[in-house]
Chain A
Amino acid sequence: MTTVREFGGAEMGLLDVAAIREDFPILSRTVRDGRPLVYLDSGATSQKPRQVLDAEREFYERHNAAVHRGAHQLAEEATDAYEAARETIASFIGADSGEVVFTKNATEAVNLVAYAMSNAATADEPLRRFQVGPGDEIVVTEMEHHANLVPWQQLCQRTGATLRWFSVTDEGRLDLSDLDELVNERTKLVAFAHQSNVLGTVNPVATITARARQVGALVLLDACQSVPHMPVDVAALDVDFLAFSGHKMLGPNGIGVLWGRRELLATMPPFISGGSMIGVVHMTHSTWADPPQRFEAGVPMAPQAVGLAAACDYLSKVGMEQVAAHEHALTEYALEKVGEIEGVRIVGPTEAVDRGGAVSFVVDDIHPHDLGQVLDDKGVEVRVGHHCAWPLHRKLGIVATTRASFYLYNTMEDVDALAEAIRAAQRFFGTRA
């Protein structure tokens, strides 16, 4: 599926993007008075290939029923499809299917752990590991997406625990100089992003996890920007929890994943309770099903699970190493092409080392909203604002940034279109000749 082609004088191992783009109907449409679409907002949500849409449609047309309920043939087929999807998705991240919990999205996956921890706060001995209270500490970082920050703030407010965080350097890396002090015997959990959704920074998981292990703290990794873009193996990462969403990795909306170590999920109390997650129900009390069902109350999103499995199959067929290499080439090219424009400053590492394909920047004297408007007028669709990482922007002393983010269907020409549109905005607002 991969081909090598000549670009800009350098040989890069790029994907056969033309063939890939054929699978994404939306990429051939035009926007704003006939401009070809240049989609550079995959960090917010990815586009979906036909294979994913077909898988979801086929489920509805052939097998639709409520899973884990009823004994009729459709219920059996639906349940089989749902559980087969779980196996595909688990194997995509090197996990056992019993360790994969489906959630509404990654945000819910993080909340699931945070609420399990506050439910444990009033519980007995077996849940001691998850109990948090006054004197305990939760550690996050200043570069977190609100989804991996606010739930921990809330947990601390509910339980009296203390929230602490790693700061971010001017280069957009985590400042680990106080690692041993920040992660200490009082630390119950360390939660951080595998890859920053704003800076593109890939964080040193092994270094942080090693320290967490020394003090017995749990580790939750926000993998929303890594699982879609690079090979991720939970065994190699050696973390305790991993959260990601389906819609950022070619999959449907409405499904996310919490992966958790088997022994942890087995002792964790539920977050949302109701049907399907029970063992036995009496009028006065209930017991819980084993994981993953314990954490999947209500009729689950089987069609979306099937769609997400199709997305994993699609990515596996292309090859995650190849996807990562392709995005690396795009990122290098974008850092060069955007970075060289006068009056533009890249926010985040300017070298494509330990760095993924989210390229944020500011343009002198043009507010990101205004820049985004001109880019949109040229058909270049990017994200503007604080990208749900407000504290990070405050730390960096900026109100907002413009972010281009890449995926396997983007081309070098997309980067050229971005650079040209930035120059057009400078001309439009008269900030550069």
Chain B
Amino acid sequence: MQLDAMYQEIILDHYRNPHHKGLRDPHDAEAHHINPTCGDEVTLRVRLAPESGAELDEKAIVSDVSYEGMGCSISQASTSVLTDLLIGKSVDEGMRTLDAFTEMMQSKGKGEPDEDVLEDAVAFVGVSKYPARIKCALLGWMAWKDAVSQSLDKEGA
């Protein structure tokens, strides 16, 4: 059954028991993203810690990601996996992970994701076969990218 390839146990686990859920302070920026085709939404906050007292830049560490959301198992699980992957990474590493995740989601099921980079997120490769669900998987990731950009912009301004 194709469904099992899509709804891997890792995805269902994250959906039922999401990690790092709930909005927390302090935070540097917050992004609210909506999938206009289904109305699913996520509000996601990012807290960055400057590397060794310097100003916030791409080397800053993502010290916290917190979120609230309403949506399908794919969007909720994907955001939960994101927090596991990106908390503790530098902004640079996070952006590279985001690129790898986006590339996998656009692979139409044919991608060979690097498990060293994407860890649990490789479970979403099956979702990439279903064009209507790609946006679900990317919802939280796009909100994270937005929130990080806002944090860095604020610093630069």
Contact = CB atoms under 8 A, between A and B. Distances in A.
Interface of A: 32-33, 367-370, 373-374, 377, 384-386, 390, 393, 399-400, 428-429
Given A369-B72, A428-B3, A399 B40 contact: yes
A364 to B, nearest CB: 14
Q: Which 4 A-B pairs have the closest CB atoms?
A: A369-B72, A367-B72, A385-B38, A386-B39
A385 B6 contact: no
Contact of A428 (B7, B39, B40, B41): B7
12 contacts: A32-B2, A369-B74, A369-B133, A370-B72, A373-B130, A374-B3, A377-B2, A385-B37, A385-B38, A386-B38, A399-B39, A429-B12
B39 A373 contact: no
Nearest to B3: A377
B39 A390 contact: yes
Contacts of A367: 40, 71-73
A32 B6 CA distance: 13
Interface in B77-135: 130, 133
A400 B72 CA distance: 10
A366 to B, nearest CB: 9
A377 B130 CA distance: 11
Interface string B131-143: 0010010000000
B1 interface: yes
Interface in B12-57: 12, 37-41
A385 B74 CA distance: 14
Contacts of A399: 38-41, 70-71
A367 B136 CA distance: 12
Contacts of B133: 369, 373
A369 B130 CA distance: 12
Interface-central residue, A367, A374, A377, by most chain B CB under 10 Å: A367
A400 to B, nearest CB: 5
B73 A377 contact: no
Nearest to A385: B38
A400 B3 contact: no
Given A367-B71, A399-B70, A373 B6 contact: yes
Contacts of B74: 369-370
B73 A370 contact: yes
Contact of A377 (B1, B12, B40, B71): B1
Contacts of A369: 38, 40, 71-74, 133, 136
Interface-central residue, B1, B72, B136, by most chain A CB under 10 Å: B72
A4 to B, nearest CB: 39
B120 to A, nearest CB: 19
Contacts of B12: 429
B101 to A, nearest CB: 19
Given A33-B2, A369-B72, A385 B136 contact: no
Nearest to B6: A373
Interface string B65-77: 0000011111000
B12 to A, nearest CB: 8
Nearest to A377: B3
B6 A400 contact: no
Contacts of B73: 367, 369-370, 429
A390 B39 CA distance: 8
A400 B2 contact: no
B40 A400 contact: yes
Contacts of B130: 373
Given A373-B3, A386-B39, A399-B38, 20 more contacts: A367-B40, A367-B72, A367-B73, A368-B38, A369-B38, A369-B40, A369-B71, A369-B74, A369-B133, A369-B136, A370-B72, A370-B74, A373-B130, A373-B133, A377-B3, A393-B39, A399-B71, A400-B39, A428-B7, A429-B12
